[in-house]
Structure 1
C-alpha cells in the first residue's frame, strides 16, 4: 500500500543504493505516514457511507402495468331494453356493468344496420363504403356463391385494430369476430360456416391459427363452430385470455340476435335468452376478476337494435317485371340488395338510370309499397356513396313496419301473417340504437370513454392500448 512501486524503490546498484536510501530516508518516512493517514481516512469514509446506506430507505421502483383489453360484442341488443324495468330485472350483471362503466343505450350503428358492416366499422372506425364490407352477404342474386357471407379479412380496405396492434408488438386474440378469416391475429378462431354440419369443424381447424381450434375444443370440452352456444364462446374467450394473455381480445356472441330473429324482441324466448346471457356474462367477469384489476379493461358493445315488419315489400319483383332482371340469362341491368329494413339499388349491365326511369321508379315503388320512400336524387346518391356503398344508385327505405326483401318471388307487396323480425332500418331509427360501455378500474372521467357510435369502439381501443391509429 505504498505510494511507489517496489521495483522503483530498490535500485540494483548497492553503493548508489546506500547513498539513495540515506538521502531519501526522511522522505520515505513522510511518505509512509501520509500513506497510512490516507488509508485510515478512506476506510472511515467507506464505513460512514455504508452506515448511511443501511439507514437509507430503499427507493420504490415505479410500478408498470401492462394494460389488456377485451372487446365483447353481444349481437342484436336493442338500446330500448334499458328503458324497461322488467328487462333490467332480468339482467343484473349487465345492469351493474352499465352503472360502473361509461355506458350508453343510444349508440348509433352504421348503414346498413346489419352485423358484418357494423362489426367491421368497430375495428376500423370508418363507414362501410370506406372499409369495404358493404353487407353481410355478397351481391349474388343467382346464388353462384351458395349463400356465402363476407367472411374474409382481405376484403377490408383499411387497417384494422389487429393491424395497428401488430405495429406496436401487441398480441391479439379472436373468438368468432366477423370478417376475420385470414386476419393477421396471433390467436385466431374466425367465424365461417358452409353447411352447418360437422364438416364445417374441419374447415375451422384449417382456417384457425395452427392447432388452436383443436386445443380450444379440448380445453372447453365442447365443439366450436357457428352453432356453438354463447356459454361455450364465453368459456373459450376466458380460456384464450388466461392461456395466451393477449393484449387485445375480440369476443363475439350471437344467441340473442338469433332468438330475436326467430321470436322477436320482447318475446318470452328473448327474455329467457337475456337471463342466460346475463348469467354467462356475470360468470365471465367474475372469472376475470374484472372489477378488482387495474391491468384489464372491458369494452361491451352491440351492433344494432331490432324491429319487425308486418308487411313485405319486394322491389326486385318490380325490376323483374320491368325486364331489368333476366333470370334465364342470369344477368341483370339493376338489382336491389336488401338489408331487411332497406334495400340499395346497384348497377349490373347498366350503371345509369335515365331521368325518366328515375321518376318512374320512385313513383311506382312508393305506390306499390305504401309506406316506403325512394331516395335517388344527386344529393342522396352522393351521401349513399360516401357512407354506405360506393356504387349506389338509390335507396328504398321505410319508417313503417315493413320488411324489404331481396326476393324475386310473389307479389311486389303483401301483408304477412306473422311479423318478420329484423333490422337493417335506417340508423336514425330509434329502434336501431344499441348499447355499449367501457369499464376501466379507477376511470377518472367516464365521458372521456363514452361512445356515440359503433365506430367509436376503434377510437377507444386505440386510446387505451396507445396504438398509433390513422383511420
Structure 2
C-alpha cells in the first residue's frame, strides 16, 4: 500500500549518511545529560502534523528521520490514538484541553456550512473552545505562553501569539497576521528571521521563529506547529518519494531547533513531540449528501436543509438543520440508500453499527460494537444523529453533485477515518528533565503531561462554559 520509491533511495542514503555525525553528537549529549535536571524551566510542545505511527513501527522508514529515531530509541516513543474525527483542528484542541471534540467544541476543521456561506473558513478562533486550555491554565498559574501557528489560537489569551490563519494564501494575508498576532510580534519575528511568516512558509521558518521566541521572550510554555509533512502526504501520498524527501529535511530542521533551544542539556527545556493523526489512501468516493438532496432534505434553490452530512474524509457526521426533528424511520431509509450505494461504508447510530455488507434496503440487521457506538454525542458532536465510517479505501465527500458512489481517477490521500483504524495511529514523545515517565496513549494526554511538568493547578470553576453556537 505504501511504496518506497527506489529512484530516491541513493540520494536519501547519502543525505542520511551526512547526518550521521550530527546524530552521534545528539546521542552523546543525551547520554551525558539525561536525568541531571531537577527543575523544569521551560516546556516546548512540538507538533508534526500527519506523522503516521507506521513510519516508526515499520523499520524501513526510520532512515528518513534519523535524528528523531535517535530520540525515540533513547527515550521511547508511544503509538497513540487520536480523536474522532481524526483531523487536525479537533485533535490539536484535544491536546490542549484533554477533552474530546464534543466537549471542547471544535468538531471539525471547518464549520458545518452546506452552502459555503463562510467561504471555506476554518475554525481558527480560540473563542469557540468551550473548556479551559493549557494557555488558560498557565495564565492562572502565572506562567507565560508563546505560540507559533498552533491551530485554533486566533484571539487566544497568550503572552506572545502568532496564530495560524489564512484567507487567500497571498502576501495580503501577512497583514491579517500582523493584526491578529500579539501587537508588533509578527513584524518583529519576520525582521529577525529574515523570511515572511505565513501559512505557506516552510516549516524551517516556523522553527527558526520558535527558536527566536524561546530565547527572546523566554516563555514557560511554547507551542510550535509544523505542517509540511501533512501537506506532502495529502499531495503525493504517505510513503511517496516527495513526502519522504521532505521528512528527511524536516527531521534535520527539528534537530537544529532542538539544538538551538538547548534540549537534553542540564538547563534545557522539557520536550513533547506529538502528531495529530496518521494517513490512509482511498480509490473511491461516497457522497451521502447526494442522497439527502434527492430525498428533499437539502434544497439548493432556497438554500435550506433539514439534514446534512459533514465530511471529515474517512467519516461523515449526520447533523440536523436547526431545530429540525426527524424520525428513526426516516434516518433508516436514508442510511439504507447510502449503504446500498457505497460498498465499504458503515453506519453508527447511538445504539448500533450497520455495515453495507449486511444491509439491504429495509433491513435493520446490525452488528453491536459497544466501544464504538457508545456516547457519540458526548465524544464527537453533541448534535450527531449518527456517523458514516469505513475501514476500506473509501472517501466521504461533502458534495451534493454527481453520483452517490464513484471511482476516483487518482488516489485520495487523507485522514478523518475512525480513530481505531491502525492507519490513524500516530506518535507521542516526552522528555521530562526530571526523569519522570509519563503515560502517553492519546493525543488528549498532552494536557495532563504538560500540566504535570509545569506544576499547573486547576482552579475550581462555577460551571461549564455554555456554547452559543448552533
1:438 and 1:450 in contact (8 A); partners too:
no
Alignment partners' CA distance in 1, 2:139 and 2:158 = 8
Structure holding more helix per residue:
1
Alignment partners' CA distance in 2, 1:440 and 1:121 = 21
Alignment partners' CA distance in 2, 1:405 and 1:151 = 22
Partner of 1:71: 45
Partner of 2:410: 418
Alignment partners' CA distance in 2, 1:356 and 1:213 = 54
Matched residue of 1:269: which SS? helix
Partner of 2:388: 396
1:187 and 1:212 in contact (8 A); partners too:
yes
Is the counterpart of residue 320 in structure 1 residue 293 in structure 2?
yes
Partner of 1:457: 446
| Residue of 138, 141, 145 corresponding to 1:165 | 138
How many positions carry a matched residue from both structures? 405
Q: CA deviation at 1:82?
A: 0.7
2:44 and 2:271 in contact (8 A); partners too:
yes
2:39 and 2:434 in contact (8 A); partners too:
no
Matched residue of 1:290: which SS? coil
- Taking structure 1 as reference, are residues 369 and 243 closer, same or farther at Cα in structure 2, changes over 3 Å only? same
Alignment of 1:15-414 (within 5 A): 65=39, 67-104=41-78, 106-348=79-321, 351-378=324-351, 383-414=375-406
What do the CA deviations read for 1:25-46 (whole angstroms, capped 9, x no partner)? xxxxxxxxxxxxxxxxxxxxxx
Alignment partners' CA distance in 1, 2:281 and 2:155 = 35
Unaligned runs of at least 5 residues, structure 1: 1-62
1:172 and 1:249 in contact (8 A); partners too:
yes
TM-score, scaled to structure 2:
0.84
Q: CA deviation at 1:382?
A: 6.0
1:194 and 1:200 in contact (8 A); partners too:
yes
TM-score, scaled to structure 1:
0.84
Unaligned runs of at least 5 residues, structure 2: 1-36, 354-372, 465-470
1:78 and 1:435 in contact (8 A); partners too:
yes
Partner of 1:468: 457
Alignment partners' CA distance in 2, 1:173 and 1:339 = 30
Q: CA deviation at 1:440?
A: 2.4
Q: CA deviation at 1:266?
A: 0.3
Matched residue of 1:200: which SS? helix
Q: CA deviation at 1:352?
A: 3.0
Alignment partners' CA distance in 2, 1:346 and 1:310 = 26
1:312 and 1:402 in contact (8 A); partners too:
yes
- The structure with the largest alpha-carbon Rg is 1
1:116 and 1:150 in contact (8 A); partners too:
yes
Q: CA deviation at 1:72?
A: 0.1
1:65 and 1:295 in contact (8 A); partners too:
no
- Taking structure 1 as reference, are residues 311 and 198 closer, same or farther at Cα in structure 2, changes over 3 Å only? same
1:102 and 1:439 in contact (8 A); partners too:
no
Q: CA deviation at 1:374?
A: 1.1
Partner of 2:20: none
Partner of 2:427: 435
